[in-house]
Amino acid sequence: MEMTIEQRRDYDKLTKEQKEYFAFFERQKPNWTFSQVMAKVQFNIIMDDPKGPLGDCGDVDPHDPAIWLTILGGVKVALSKFKSISDSITNAINGAISSLKQMISLGIRKVGNAIEKILDSIF
Amino acid sequence: MDSKFAVEKMLEAILGNNVSLDEKNQVMKAINREITEKPFRVAVIGQSGVGKSTTLNAVFGLKNYTSNVAEGTTDIEEKVFEMRDGFSLSIYDMPGIGYDIDKDAEYEKMYAKILPECDVIVYIINAHSKDIGEDCRILRDVVLPVCNTNNIRENLILAFNKIDTIGEMQNPNDPELRWNTVENLPTEKLKSAIKIKLEDLTDKLIDERLVGGEDSIKPHQVVFYSAIYNYNLSAFLKAITVAGNRGWIWTGTVGFEQIGKWSDKKL
């Protein structure tokens, strides 16, 4: 399938297995666009998640780094409305955001070190 | 009792001793104002019988909530629920707009008035529905255009409820297709049935360009759950958290406290 530069970038982020899914769905649905096939791959990822709708969902995890990354992103946007926010505040929040991003990229569901201690004290 | 919200405790701990007390107080005041200056507004849309009441109970912790809005009404009232410490939740309980295409314009006016005010818009569908064609039409022709015009597409969550009943609808006499209430999990046979059904549903959403199209929603905005069994509510909470500009407020304040609050297993 022909791809734009941006689409190629998104495609390259897929794992080997996800690329195999992409190829499978591309064959199964020859009329679908790149975006439609990618959406199917993303749904597949959701279905394959052992904690997803076909797995053992368990209780909601208040230590989930992805959730806290979003919350801190929202805090940062909310605070950006106020001109008097200092660099030290911004740096502290950015530091926490970096830690959370690192945890997500390493695939560790529970955050480690300082952030984990904070969440343990909250929940 | 510490009345601070989870996000406030997190922020306070992150700032620690790295900033002056004055600065810290300024920031905490700003975030508290963001949280409490207006209610967190949620629109819930769905036909009778999709489980709006159970969803509001399971996800938002509204005990004994009853959805009794008349089918076809366009006169929608905002219901406000005080959560705690100045934070409140407001619900616009909206009926599904019915299958009368001639009334689309009337309902579009209703949605255009209310949806732009909402932080999260939850459109609930029965996961065991044999045909979601009409819901797809309503989403494609009425709801999504309103969301796109007002730049609130990211506030929309498509919620497929009652995945626990998918098996029973296929064969009510097969006990292997019933929900395992002891483990609170689908049986293996039910899991296979759910997988097939969810694949059909997602293919339909993609075919209809509700997902994977220009001006359409993303896969993470679609959730499959069972409100009555509190199943896969974490996906729902995540979808709320990333919704629009303010979804994070729900999860950062009372979201974790409220979800599954009244579930039987906790009694």
How many whole angstroms separate alpha carbon A48 and alpha carbon B219? 14
Torsion angle, alpha carbons of B15, B17, B21, B25, to 10:
20
For residue A108, pLDDT over 90 is answered with no
Does any CB of chain A come closer than 8 Å to the CB of residue B98? no
Question: Model pTM?
Answer: 0.94
Three-state secondary-structure class, residue B181: coil
For residue A53, pLDDT over 90 is answered with no
> B189-208 burial by CB neighbour count: b if 16+ within 10 A, else e?
ebbebbeebbeebbbbbbbb
Yes or no: say if B108 and B114 are a contact pair by the CB < 8 Å rule: no
Query: What single DSSP character describes residue B101?
Result: G
Distances (CA, A) of B7 to A16, B105, B201, B247: 37, 41, 36, 13
| CB nearest A67 (choices: B26, B241, B245) | B241
Yes or no: say if B40 and B250 are a contact pair by the CB < 8 Å rule: yes
- Report the residue of B155, B251, B258 to disrupt the A interface, i.e. the one with the largest count of A CBs within 10 Å: B251
How many whole angstroms separate alpha carbon A12 and alpha carbon B261? 42
Secondary structure of chain A: what % helix, strand, coil (to 5)?
65, 0, 35
Least confident of A10-14, A66-70, B262-266: B262-266
CB atoms within 10 A of CB B96: 21
The nearest alpha carbon in chain A to B195 belongs to A54
**B185: nearest Cα among A109, A62, A59:** A59
Q: CB distance B185–A96 less than 8 Å? A: no
Q: Measure in Å the smallest separation between the Cα of B141 and chain A Cα atoms.
A: 19
Above pLDDT 90, what percent of chain B? 76
CB-CB neighbors (< 8 A) of A35 in chain B: 212-214
Hey, which bits of B7-161 come out as E strands? 40-46, 78-84, 87-95, 120-126, 156-161
Confidence category of residue B266, pLDDT binned at 50, 70, 90: very low
Q: CB distance A61–B191 less than 8 Å? A: no
Instruction: Please enumerate in sequence order all residues whose Cβ is within 8 A of that of B186, keeping only pairs 6 or more positions apart, or say none.
Output: A54, B163, B164, B167, B179, B180, B194
Model confidence pLDDT, tens digit, residues A12-48? 999 999 999 999 999 999 999 999 999 999 999 999 8
Q: Token pair for residue B9?
A: 């405790």
**pLDDT, averaged across chain B:** 91
Domains of chain B by start residue, with CATH: 38-126+133-141+152-162+220-266 (3.40.50.300)
Q: CB distance A43–B222 less than 8 Å? A: yes
Model confidence pLDDT, tens digit, residues B93-145? 987 776 677 778 888 889 999 999 999 999 999 999 999 999 999 999 999 99
Q: CB distance B206–A51 less than 8 Å? A: no
Least confident of A97-111, B70-84, B236-250: A97-111
**CB-based burial of residue A31 (10 Å sphere; 0-12 exposed, 13-18 middle, 19+ buried)?**
exposed
Q: How far is CA B41 from the centre of its chain?
A: 11
Q: CB distance A64–B251 less than 8 Å? A: no
CB atoms within 10 A of CB B129: 18
Query: What single DSSP character describes residue B130?
Result: S
Does any CB of chain A come closer than 8 Å to the CB of residue B59? no
Model confidence pLDDT, tens digit, residues B12-65? 999 988 888 999 999 999 999 999 999 999 999 998 899 999 999 999 999 878
Q: How far is CA B95 from the centre of its chain?
A: 15
